[in-house]
Each structure stands twice: as structure tokens, then as C-alpha cells.
Chain A
Amino acid sequence: MSQSPIQPTVAGWFTDGDEPKLIGTQCRGCGTYFFPKQELFCRNPSCTSTDFDEVELSRTGRIWSYTKHYYAPPEPYITGDEFEPYTIAAVELETEKMVILGQVANGFEPEDLHTGQEMEVVVEKLYEQDGTDYTVWKWKPRAS
């Protein structure tokens, strides 16, 4: 199978296109949302369900906390040849109220962010390997 020049870093974790969304699961028993996907047993100790629906999660949320990562994390993290410090944010999803971590979109600094700020999911390149761009979801401040 020939490889296209753009690939998600992790297949099946987010959708493509102009309005990308994270893909999670929802428990049919207690309604809890999961990301990454929970597929075998529910993590909620008061729920015995083993049935989950794959769902697209809301693509906006509000910043719970954020920081800037100034050092190159060791393996298994992939940082590329030239490490550039990056901004990260923990964002509480609009509907699911679950906190999802992610890098902040290229070009945004902590100075551009504040808690409670509305963010949206975008997909950007994380690294390049053998001529293929591998992508990941990131958080981007939503244009008001």
C-alpha cells in the first residue's frame, strides 16, 4: 500500500478536514465520555457496562490551565531534530466537560492565552519522517 505524504501520528484519534474533531467513546451505561477511547470495560466503578459508542467529541472548549514546555522531552516523545519550546494547554470540552491535553497551535505563546479562553481543535504537523508529514491535534484560540 502506498503511503500518502500526510498521515495522522495516531490513526483513529481525530478526524480530518476543515473542522477536525477528536474521536472518543461514550459508555452506553453511564454516559461517561472517554478520550483516548475506552472500549472494553467502563472506568466508572459504579458502572458495569461493556458497551461503548464511538463518538466525535465537541471541537471547542475552554482553557483549564496552560504552560510552556521549554525542554525536549525524552523518548518516547518525538521532538524532531531541532527542538523548539512549545505551548501546551489543558482544555475542558464544551459538551463533555472532560479535560484534554494538547499542544497549542503554532505561533501562539502563553501571553496569547488565558484561563477560560475558548479554543478549538486543529490538526497540524508534529514531525516529518521519510518524506511523510505526521499530524496531531492541537488547540487553537478561537477567533471571536
Chain B
Amino acid sequence: MSDVYVIGIDMIKFGRFPDITVPKLGATAANMALDDAGLTIQDMQALYSGNLGQAAAMVGQRILAEIGQTGVPVVNCANACATGATAFREGWMAIKAGVYDMVLCVGTEQMGKGLLGGGGASKGIPTEGLLGSGTMPAVFAEAGMEHARNYGTSFEQFAKVSVKNHHHSTLNPKAMYQIETPLETVMGAEMIAYPNTKLMCSVNVDGAAAAVICSEEKARELGKMDRAVKVRASVMTSDPFQARNMSMPDVNTCTQLAAKQAYEMAGVGPEEIDLVELHDCFATAEILHYGNLGLGKPEEAGRMIDEGETALGGRVPVNVSGGLLSKGHPLGATGIANIYEVSTHLRGEAGQRQVEGARLGLTHVIGLGSACAIHILEKAQ
């Protein structure tokens, strides 16, 4: 099976674009990725499109209607916050399988302002829905409280995650925000669900990101290896059965499972990873995932944030883009935007926020506690 390479990747600046349609947002990112690859839509053999808000509305085909209806197959994916990563992974699998040798993957979302709904279905009785105890802020607050109880992690340490990621995004012109948020501002912000204040929750924004991926043979034939990024691992898991968790997702196990598989597939250990874009949907989540992804022992997570190990310049920088907390979190776009961020560092093109000498990077998303996707990426040799 051929290795798969990213040869073109880009994202629009995340923000609020109520007057632009979803297909136009996706089309913009798609054209940017094609430009980055020096190719056109004519070169693409299939399109994998991720979007959640209009999952029933053929967003992928409507993107092609903006940039060129070549008649290629289009697959539309929806997988909560793992939607974009799912679209990317479907493309990866098609190339792995040898069905195509070059495809386009696009993730798009238009969120608008305000708070996300919980895990409720659109019809019938939403599980936990009516009493409001199964919302995402509640689930991640409680998971953070468990970490605090087991390892002594403090409110201040959780808040420092937000300080760090907001600082990072001041160096990222494509992030929603470029503002510093001092510790006292973060801790003093409106409480959403203790210990997460409003500044410790991801930002709902509109966004799109796209990637052109291809087989090794194709990348070499096109002479694209100098800026190419190799996909060393692509893994997805769902929430495994646990008799104690019938009414709430365990936000840790599906990431732990995916991380183990991803490191095995890539043949590398967590200590070899130079930078990580992980799913900081809440500040507490980032702390949990340090342990889940093996970046440190779970009990070390508080110390890691205190000592700047996960800040730019630290041992393993996490969410140098600003993360979901400050770059923003357009659900369907996030997975590919993470891959864009890591790829940009591996290419040595991240400017002020460049992680020096980055060779291996990891991206992680988790959808509603039950869909985890991890990619390990490497600078092409």
C-alpha cells in the first residue's frame, strides 16, 4: 500500500461570515489548497467533504458547483467535532486502497455566535436532554474535576491552558482572536461550568480548511516532495463499551485507544512528537489529553502547564495555532485546520510561531466524546 502525502493544504482565516454561504466558504479553502499544491480541480479524482450543520444538504457537491463540476465522486461526512478529520481520513483510505491516487478533502462549518447544543437528537427524547446535565460544558467540567481530585490539578492550572493558547494565537494571523488574556482575566471571566470560565471554552466561529492528498508515486511524479508532508498514521476510534458509562461518554478512553493505535501505526513514541494540535474544546480537556496522548503522565499535567512544557519553545508545544480556545472551532473544519497547522510547521513555514526543527507532529480531535481521530504527520524525506 502506498504512503499518503499532503501536497497542498490551507485554511481561511477563522471568523464570522454570516453573509457567505457554506459552499462558498468551503470553495474558498478548496481553491487555496489547490493553489498551494499548484494544481486545479481537474486534477482531483474525488472530493471528501466534511460539514455538520448542513449534513443533509450535499455540501460537497455544492462546493464543486463553485469551483468546477468535474463529475468526480463526492462523499459527504458528518461526525460531530471529528467531521473534518473524518473527511481527511476517508480520502486517505481511498488512496491507501489504491482506488485513487489524488483527492481533495474539505472541511467547512458555519456556526454563528452562541453556545452549542448538547448531545440531544433532533427528534424523540434527547438522552439527558431535558434536565441539562449532559451538556458538553458539564461533561468536560466534571471530567476536569475528576482530574483535580485524582492529581490535585487546580483551577489556576486549568486557566493557564487558556492563557497559553490565547497567547499562541497572537502569532497566528488565521486565528479568530489575536489578543492576550492574562490569568486574572481568564479566571475572572463569566463562569460557564466550574472550573471552566467563558474564556476556557472553545470559540464558535465560521471556517473552512482543505487538503490535497496523494500517493507517493504521484507526489514524486509531480515533483512535490520538497514541501510534502507524509501521513504516518491515521486512526479513528469510537467510545468503547464500559458498564459504568451508560448515560455519559467517557471523554478519556476513546483518545487513549486512538493514541495507542496511532503510535503503533506510525512506529514512533510520544516522546518523538515535536508538536501537537489537540482538541481543547475546554481548558480542562487539554489537561486531560496530555495524559491520554502520552505527552506526560496524567499526574504531571498540572506541572507541564506550570513550567511551560506545552508552550511554544517548550518540550512539546501544544496548540501553537491558538487551539479551539482562541483560533476557534468550526466543527467540520477543525480536523483539517489542525492538519494544516502541523503541516505548516513541518514545512518550516509557520513564521513567528514556528516550532524549530519540527519533524513529527500529531493532530487530535474528539466528537461528542465518542468519535476520536488522530493523525501523525512527518516532514517528507
Using A9-B131, A103-B133 as known contacts, say yes or no to A32 and B243 having CB atoms under 8 A apart: yes
Task: Collect the chain A residues with CB atoms within 8 Å of residue B244's CB.
Answer: 92, 97-99
Task: Collect the chain A residues with CB atoms within 8 Å of residue B126's CB.
Answer: 76
Q: How far is the CB of B241 from chain A (nearest CB, A)?
A: 5
B117/A68 in contact, CB under 8 A: no
The answer to whether A49 has its CB under 8 Å from any CB of chain B is no
Task: Collect the chain B residues with CB atoms within 8 Å of residue A45's CB.
Answer: 241
Task: Collect the chain B residues with CB atoms within 8 Å of residue A29's CB.
Answer: none
The answer to whether B120 has its CB under 8 Å from any CB of chain A is yes
Q: Within the assembled complex, what's the spacing in Å between the Cα atoms of A9 and B129?
A: 11
A77/B243 in contact, CB under 8 A: no
Task: Collect the chain B residues with CB atoms within 8 Å of residue A77's CB.
Answer: 117-118, 120, 129-132, 135
B138/A103 in contact, CB under 8 A: no
Task: Collect the chain A residues with CB atoms within 8 Å of residue B149's CB.
Answer: 65, 115
Q: Within the assembled complex, what's the spacing in Å between the Cα atoms of A33 and B244?
A: 9
> B248's contact among A79, A90, A115, A137, by CB below 8 Å, is which?
A90
A10/B130 in contact, CB under 8 A: yes
The answer to whether B358 has its CB under 8 Å from any CB of chain A is no
Q: How far is the CB of B216 from chain A (nearest CB, A)?
A: 36
A71/B137 in contact, CB under 8 A: yes
> A69's contact among B129, B130, B138, B246, by CB below 8 Å, is which?
B138
Q: Within the assembled complex, what's the spacing in Å between the Cα atoms of A79 and B243?
A: 30
> A136's contact among B130, B143, B146, by CB below 8 Å, is which?
B130
Task: Collect the chain B residues with CB atoms within 8 Å of residue A44's CB.
Answer: 241, 243
The answer to whether B264 has its CB under 8 Å from any CB of chain A is no
Q: Within the assembled complex, what's the spacing in Å between the Cα atoms of A92 and B141?
A: 17
Stretch of B24-32, B159-167, B186-194, B301-309 contacting A (4+ beta carbons < 8 Å): B186-194
Q: Within the assembled complex, what's the spacing in Å between the Cα atoms of A73 and B135?
A: 7
Q: How far is the CB of B247 from chain A (nearest CB, A)?
A: 6
CB-CB contacts of B96-130 with A at 8 A, as 1s and 0s? 00000000000000000011111010000111111
B117/A102 in contact, CB under 8 A: no
B247/A100 in contact, CB under 8 A: yes
Give the most central of B118, B133, B247: most A CB within 10 Å. Answer: B133
**Chain B interface mostly:** loop
Q: Within the assembled complex, what's the spacing in Å between the Cα atoms of A100 and B118?
A: 16
Q: Within the assembled complex, what's the spacing in Å between the Cα atoms of A99 and B143?
A: 13
Q: Within the assembled complex, what's the spacing in Å between the Cα atoms of A93 and B246?
A: 12
Binding site for A on B (CB under 8 A): 114-118, 120, 125-135, 137-138, 141-143, 145-146, 149, 190-195, 241, 243-248
Using A33-B243, A69-B137, A98-B243 as known contacts, say yes or no to A78 and B130 having CB atoms under 8 A apart: yes
Task: Collect the chain B residues with CB atoms within 8 Å of residue A33's CB.
Answer: 243, 246
B146/A64 in contact, CB under 8 A: yes
A103/B247 in contact, CB under 8 A: no
Q: How far is the CB of B72 from chain A (nearest CB, A)?
A: 37
The answer to whether A5 has its CB under 8 Å from any CB of chain B is no
A-B contact count (CB 8 A): 125
Using A68-B191, A101-B133, A103-B131 as known contacts, say yes or no to A74 and B116 having CB atoms under 8 A apart: yes
Q: Within the assembled complex, what's the spacing in Å between the Cα atoms of A35 and B133?
A: 14
Task: Collect the chain B residues with CB atoms within 8 Å of residue A101's CB.
Answer: 128, 131, 133-134, 138, 247-248
Q: How far is the CB of A45 from chain B (nearest CB, A)?
A: 6
> A9's contact among B130, B142, B245, by CB below 8 Å, is which?
B130
Q: Within the assembled complex, what's the spacing in Å between the Cα atoms of A86 and B114?
A: 20
Beyond contacts A10-B125, A77-B120, A99-B248: 10 other A-B pairs, Cβ-Cβ < 8 A, are A32-B243, A34-B246, A68-B194, A76-B126, A76-B129, A88-B133, A88-B138, A98-B244, A101-B133, A136-B130
Q: Within the assembled complex, what's the spacing in Å between the Cα atoms of A75 and B247?
A: 19
The answer to whether A15 has its CB under 8 Å from any CB of chain B is no
Q: How far is the CB of B181 from chain A (nearest CB, A)?
A: 19
Q: How far is the CB of A116 from chain B (nearest CB, A)?
A: 9
**A33-83 at interface with B (beta carbon < 8 Å):** 33-36, 38, 43-45, 64-71, 73-79
The answer to whether A126 has its CB under 8 Å from any CB of chain B is yes
Q: How far is the CB of B187 from chain A (nearest CB, A)?
A: 14
Q: How far is the CB of B221 from chain A (nearest CB, A)?
A: 44
Q: List 16 A-B contacts (CB under 8 A).
A: A36-B127, A65-B146, A67-B145, A70-B194, A74-B117, A75-B117, A76-B117, A76-B120, A77-B132, A98-B243, A98-B246, A99-B245, A99-B247, A101-B133, A101-B248, A126-B131
Q: Within the assembled complex, what's the spacing in Å between the Cα atoms of A78 and B135?
A: 12
Q: Within the assembled complex, what's the spacing in Å between the Cα atoms of A97 and B243?
A: 8
Q: How far is the CB of A117 from chain B (nearest CB, A)?
A: 12
> B132's contact among A10, A64, A79, A92, by CB below 8 Å, is which?
A79
Task: Collect the chain A residues with CB atoms within 8 Å of residue B130's CB.
Answer: 9-10, 76-78, 126, 136
Task: Collect the chain B residues with CB atoms within 8 Å of residue A9's CB.
Answer: 130-131
Using A67-B194, A68-B194, A70-B192 as known contacts, say yes or no to A102 and B143 having CB atoms under 8 A apart: no
